[in-house]
Each structure stands twice: as structure tokens, then as C-alpha cells.
């Protein structure tokens, strides 16, 4: 079968890597892809938000299965579009993807169906938001309602920071109309974990748990990023806790969407805080996480194509997910300056020296330029390793990362060591 994967980051490289292992697959395309993906798939120069271009390509190439990586095409309705043309595509329709595309939609759904989350208020007027914050106090979390390219969440520790965040988000500080409405939440304390789950609209099957390290610097300091590294499983994982999350959060959310007339087929990603009062939802995403996917797929033993087909056929209950007992750690190499301004076009050396079983370098922000692999993003590479435990996997990942070099290379030194 011919498979098209949409996206260009480390998540998409991990998906291509895993899909390439399926005996069902004869050809993989990736739009637009990156320099690492180019070794496993044919990269095509179509951007992830060019829905018409992607549709025309899929029809012309007679693509058997399309897998959507990033959130933007999902929220824009690429699944609805492909399905209208009888093309098999993995991901939720636009109405279901609103669980990520609109934070107020997600909060109101959780409130209505008593799915545990932080207390909140939704506002379209800055002054009303500020009055709510003044009454409820700080610290608090202020979020743009819509997709904000990772710039839409502020943790405010005092009123001055909170009011500044309200003004910035609601006055053009985030892309498009994302800040027209904001959500103000209570600040939750505890351990944060990432739980991705497959759903065919009825059945829910959680994937291996992961923990993302979002802050730019060691010790969870500095600004939020798209992710500086991940581990799987996190120390907080237990079968009892996983069962609780499935029964109290994941399944009720899928059921709630179904009750509202919205079938969710794809990956439901729950960012959770493990509080003293139990797990609570920080946010939902409607797709595979990045860089969580890198560690989770390294541990997955099943054929991913078979899993996806079972989702699309509404037969997920027939699949038993199996996992390597080994732990996985992903260390993200970034361009210095990220998540702020950074230089691009810097040659990456040493990639050929990193070749070991159970270790993969997933490209995130790279391109081929005059036969050389150069940097093209803030997050450049995800060095991902398997080993007997988290500590050993981290040692392997860092040892491999040392062999890779480019100007302004930076990474956190504490992934898997906290």
C-alpha cells in the first residue's frame, strides 16, 4: 500500500520510521518532510496546511492511507475533505479536532461531563478576564483559546504578569484569531505526564505513557518550548493509575464527544497533572505528540499500519497493544536561542557516526542544502535511545548526542535524570 504522512518534524520522522517497518507498505510519501525523512520516504514540497494541494496529490498518486501529524490541517478539516473523496485518512474530523483547536470547547465539554480539570473562566473582554483573576488570585494560567503555535500559554505568578498576559494574548500577541477569546485557569501542582490514546470512536486504547520536559533549561527553568526531551515510562506510571486515567478521563471524553454527536477517530492526547486530588486534564490534543511520539513508537511492538486500519474500521477492540519492556529517552538538540530567535542553515556533522541498534536520530528541523544536511528550525534533532531503564537510556542518548555537532548546538542536560 502507498502511505502519505503529513508534516515535517520529529514526530513525522518517527511515524515514517515506524510505518516503514510494516510489510503492508510499498511506498511512503511525506509532505513536506525533512532531511532525515528523505532517507525513508519520498518528500514532496506541499505544506501541511495546503489542504487542496494534499488532496490533489493523494488522488493523483492513489494513496491508500494518509496519516496527519500536526494539528493545523486537522482543525482546518483535512479529514472531512479526504473522506468526501473516499480517501482513507487517520485523524479526527474538524468538529472532533476542536478539542485541541478551541480550549474553551474542551473546558466546557469537561465541565458538562464532569471530567476532572482545573477550575476556569472563558472571556472575550480583557477587563472581565482581569476582574476574574483579581477575585481568584494568582498564580494562574492564561491560555489563548485557539491554536497559537506554542505561544498561547502563560503561567502568571502575580497580577502584573497576569494582566500583561491578558493584554498580549488578546491584542495580537498570538497568530490570527487565536486570542479573540482566552481561558483563565487555576494553577495546578503535581507531576505532569503525557498520555496518548487511540480511539475508533467507541473503544479507547492508551499508548505507553510519556513525560515531556517543556522548559528550555535544566531544572524546568526558562520559557516553555515545544519539548526539550521525553521519557517513557515516567516514574509516576503504575497500572492502577493508568486504569484510573482511562476510566475517569480518556473513555469519558470519547463518550462525551459521541454523545454530542461527534465521533473521535484518531489519537486523543491528554496532558495531565497528577495532583493530590488525582489526575486532572491540563489540555487535550487531537494528534500524536511531539516529542512524545519518538519514545512511544520506539517501544511499540505492533505494526502501526494494522493498528491504524483497526481504528478506521471501528475495530480497535480486537487489537492488543504490546510494548518493549525497555525504557526510552529522547534528548532534543536545539538551535541556541530557541524558543526565541535562532540562526538557520548551519551544517550538521557526525550523523553518520550514530548508528546503533535501539538508537535513532529523528530529524525535526533539518533540510538538504547543496548535498549537506543543515539546520532549519529551533528543534533540530531528537536523539532517542532504548535501554533497560531510564537512566541507562539517557546515558545512551547523551553519548550519541555528543557525536553530533553543529554551530550553536544546545540541549538540556537533565532529561531522564530528574
Q: Which of 193, 194, 189 is nearest to 275 (CA)?
A: 189
One domain, residues 67 and 123: no
Instruction: Name the domain count of the chain.
Output: 4
Do 182 and 195 share a domain, yes or no?
no
In a domain, 98, yes or no: no
Q: Give the pairing type, strands 65-68 and 89-90.
A: parallel
Q: Say how many C-beta atoms besides its own lie within 10 A of residue 313's C-beta.
A: 11
Domain-located, residue 103:
no
pLDDT of residue 8: 98
Distance CA(21)–CA(226), nearest Å, equals 27
Which residues form the domain of 8? Answer: 2-93
CATH number at 357 reads 3.90.600.10
The whole-angstrom separation of Cα 109 and Cα 246 is 17
Residue 315: beta bridge partners?
A: none
Does pTM surpass 0.85?
yes
Dist CA 45 CA 192 (whole Å): 36
Has residue 401 been placed in a domain?
A: yes
Q: List 366's β-bridge partners, or say none.
A: 375
Residues 201 and 312 in one domain: yes
From 301, 318, 335, give the residue that closes a domain.
318
Whether residues 199 and 314 fall in one domain: yes
Residues in the chain, overall count = 418
End-to-end CA, the chain: 43
Q: Is residue 110 part of a domain?
A: no
Structural domain contains residue 8: yes
Instruction: State residue 151's pLDDT score.
Output: 79
- State residue 4's pLDDT score: 98
The verdict on whether omega for the bond into residue 144 sits within 30 degrees of 0, i.e. cis, is no
| CATH code of residue 23 | 3.40.50.20
- What are the average pLDDT values for consecutive 10-residue runs of the chain, which has 418 residues? 98 98 98 97 98 98 98 98 98 98 97 98 97 97 91 92 96 89 97 97 98 94 92 96 98 98 97 97 97 98 98 97 98 96 97 95 97 96 98 98 98 92
Question: Do 278 and 214 share a structural domain?
Answer: yes
201-204, long-range: CB within 8 Å, 24+ apart, which pairs?
201/254, 201/258, 201/263, 201/264, 201/265, 201/314, 202/254, 202/258, 202/314, 202/316, 202/317, 203/316, 203/317, 204/246, 204/250, 204/251, 204/254, 204/268
> What are the Cα distances from residue 312, in Å, to 65, 203, 296, 334?
10, 12, 21, 36
314 lies in the same domain as 333: no
- Residue at which a domain ends, from 318, 348, 374: 318
Determine whether 84 is exposed, middle or buried from the number of CB atoms within 10 Å of its CB (0-12, 13-18, 19+): exposed
For residue 107, being part of any structural domain is answered with no
Query: Are residues 348 and 234 part of one domain?
Result: no
Angle between helices 10-19 and 292-299 (to 10 degrees): 20
Instruction: Quote the strand ranges of 182-314, DSSP E.
Output: 182-186, 191-200, 204-206, 211-212, 215-217, 221-224, 229-232, 265-275, 278-285
Q: Do residue 63 and residue 136 come from a single domain?
A: no
Could you tell me if residue 102 is inside a domain? no
CATH value at residue 245:
3.30.470.20
> How many C-alpha atoms does 277 have within 13 Å on its Cβ side?
7
Please report which residue ranges of 140-181 form alpha helices under DSSP H: 159-170
Residues 146 and 226 in one domain: no
Tell me: do 80 and 163 sit in the same domain.
no
Q: Does the residue 416 lie in any domain?
A: no
Contact present, 78 and 89 (Cβ < 8 Å): yes
Return the CATH number at 150: 3.30.1490.20
Cα separation of 388 and 219, whole Å?
Answer: 24
Domain boundary residue among 93, 111, 128?
93
Which residues neighbour 127 within 8 Å (Cβ) at sequence distance 6 or greater? Answer: none
- Residues 161 and 56 reside in one and the same domain: no
Q: Is 349 helix (H, G, I), strand (E, B) or coil?
A: strand
Residue 201 and residue 267 in one domain: yes
Amino acid at each position: 500500500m502507498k502511505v502519505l504522512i503529513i508534516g515535517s518534524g520529529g514526530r513525522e520522522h518517527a511515524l515514517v520510521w515506524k510505518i516503514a517497518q510494516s510489510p503492508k507498505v510499498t511506498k511512503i510519501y511525506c509532505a513536506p518532510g525533512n532531511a532525515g525523512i528523505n532517507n525513508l520516504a519520498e518528500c514532496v514540497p506541499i505544506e501541511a496546511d495546503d489542504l487542496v494541494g494534499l488532496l490533489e496529490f493523494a488522488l493523483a498518486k492513489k494513496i491508500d492511507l494518509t496519516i496527519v501529524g500536526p494539528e493545523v490541517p486537522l482543525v482546518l478539516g483535512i479529514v472531512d475533505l479526504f473522506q468526501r473523496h473516499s480517501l482513507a485518512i487517520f485523524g479526527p474530523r474538524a468538529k472532533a479536532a476542536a478539542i485541541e483547536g478551541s480550549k474553551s470547547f474542551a473546558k466546557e465539554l469537561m465541565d458538562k461531563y464532569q471530567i476532572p480539570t482545573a477550575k476556569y473562566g472563558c472571556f472575550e473582554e480583557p477587563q472581565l478576564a482581569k476582574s476574574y483573576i483579581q477575585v481568584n488570585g494568582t498564580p494562574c494560567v492564561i491560555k489563548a483559546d485557539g491554536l497559537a503555535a506554542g505561544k498561547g500559554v502563560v503561567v502568571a505568578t502575580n497580577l502584573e504578569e497576569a494582566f500583561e498576559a491578558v493584554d498580549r494574548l488578546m491584542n495580537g500577541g498570538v497568530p490570527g484569531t487565536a486570542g479573540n477569546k482566552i481561558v483563565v485557569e487555576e494553577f495546578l501542582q503535581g507531576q505532569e505526564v503525557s498520555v496518548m490514546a487511540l480511539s475508533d470512536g467507541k473503544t479507547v486504547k492508551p499508548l505507553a505513557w510519556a513525560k515531556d520536559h517543556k522548559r528550555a533549561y535544566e531544572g524546568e527553568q526558562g520559557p516553555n518550548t515545544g519539548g526539550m526531551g521525553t521519557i517513557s515510562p515516567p516514574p509516576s506510571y503504575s497500572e492502577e493509575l493508568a486504569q484510573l486515567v482511562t476510566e475517569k478521563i480518556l473513555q469519558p471524553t470519547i463518550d462525551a464527544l459521541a454523545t454530542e454527536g461527534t465521533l473521535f477517530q484518531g489519537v486523543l492526547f491528554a496532558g495531565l497533572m497528577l495532583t493530590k486530588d488525582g489526575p486532572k486534564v491540563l489540555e487535550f490534543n487531537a494528534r500524536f505528540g511531539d516529542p512524545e511520539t519518538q519514545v512511544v513508537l520506539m517501544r511499540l511492538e505492533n505494526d502501526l499500519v494494522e493498528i491504524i486500519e483497526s481504528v478506521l474500521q471501528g475495530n480497535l477492540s480486537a487489537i492488543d497493544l504490546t510494548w518493549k519492556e525497555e525504557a526510552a529517552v529522547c534528548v532534543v538538540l536545539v538551535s541556541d536561542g530557541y524558543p526565541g530567535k535562532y540562526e538557520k542553515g548551519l551544517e550538521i556533522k557526525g550523523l553518520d557516526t550514530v548508528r546503533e541498534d535501539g538508537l535513532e536520530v529523528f530529524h525535526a528541523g533539518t533540510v538538504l542544502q547543496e548535498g549537506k544536511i543543515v539546520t532549519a528550525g529551533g528543534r533540530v534533532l531528537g536523539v532517542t535511545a532504548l535501554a533497560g531503564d531510564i537512566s541507562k537510556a539517557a546515558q545512551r542518548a547523551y553519548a550519541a548526542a555528543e557525536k553530533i555537532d553543529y554551530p550553536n548546538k544546545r540541549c538540556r542536560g537533565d532529561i531522564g535524570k530528574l
